[in-house]
Amino acid sequence: AQKITQTQPGMFVQEKEAVTLDCTYDTSDQSYGLFWYKQPSSGEMIFLIYQGSYDEQNATEGRYSLNFQKARKSANLVISASQLGDSAMYFCAMTTRYKLSFGAGTTVTVRA
Amino acid sequence: DTAVSQTPKYLVTQMGNDKSIKCEQNLGHDTMYWYKQDSKKFLKIMFSYNNKELIINETVPNRFSPKSPDKAHLNLHINSLELGDSAVYFCASSPLPSNTEAFFGQGTRLTVV
C-alpha cells in the first residue's frame, strides 16, 4: 500500500520569501513518480512539478523545485520568491502502476 | 481544446435520485481516474481504469458505477444518492507508464439535498 503524508495543514509566508512544503511517502515499489499539484480557490488542479524515483537530480520548474531525498522518502516542494498568487492548497501525490494517491494537502497563504 | 472535460460542472439533486457525470479526454491517454474531494479537501481515489478495464476500485459503494465505453471516456453513474455523496468529483487521465503528470478535469460539484 502506498501512503503520502503532509504534516503541515497550513502555512503563512511573506511575499518574496521562500517556503518549503513537506511531503513524505511510503511505498514498497521501486518505480514510482512524485508530483505536486496546486489547487487555488477556484478549484482546478494545476500540475507543478514531477520527480521520478530513478531521477538523480532534483526537479525544477521555474520557481518550483522538488527536494527529493530517496533514502528518507521525502519529496519536499520549495517555492521561491513567493507571490500573492501562490496562495492556494498544495497537494503532494505519488503514482505507482495504475494508482495516483494524494496527501492531505497544505494550505499556503502569502502575505503582502 | 480542453484536455479533460467533465460535465456538468454543477449538479444539485435530491436524495434518492440517480445521476451521471461524464468525462472525456482527448489526450490519447490509457489511464483514467475518478476522485472524490470532500469538504476537508481530501482527494480520495475512487476508480482507476486502464484501456477501458477497471484496475482499481477503492472500496466504493456499489451505488457508484463507472462506465468506460472507450479509452477516451470514463463516466460515473451514481444510484440512490445520499447526503454524504455531496462533494467535488474529479476525473483525470494519465499516460502509461504513469511517469508524467495526470491531467484533471475542472471538477463536478455535486450537492445532494
Q: What digits encode the pLDDT tens for the residues A16-42?
A: 999 999 999 999 988 899 999 999 999
Q: What is the reported pLDDT for A99? A: 84
**Across A48-52, B40-44, B93-97, least confident range:** B93-97
Q: What is the reported pLDDT for B42? A: 94
Which residue of A47, A95, A102 is in closest CB contact with B98? A95
Confirm if A46 and A61 have CB atoms less than 8 A apart.
Answer: no
In a mutagenesis test of the B interface, which of A32, A37, A98 is the best target, namely the one with the most B β-carbons within 10 Å? Answer: A98
Q: What is the reported pLDDT for B56? A: 84
Closest chain A residue to the Cα of B50, Cα to Cα: A98
Percent of chain B with pLDDT over 90: 78
Which of B:81-100 have CB within 8 Å of A?
88, 90, 92, 94, 97-100
Q: How far is A39 from chain B (nearest CA, A)?
A: 10
Residue B96 pLDDT > 80: no
Question: pLDDT band at residue B23, thresholds of 50, 70 and 90?
Answer: very high
Q: What is the reported pLDDT for B76? A: 97
Whether A101 sits inside 8 A of B45 (CB atoms) is: yes
Q: What is the reported pLDDT for B55? A: 87
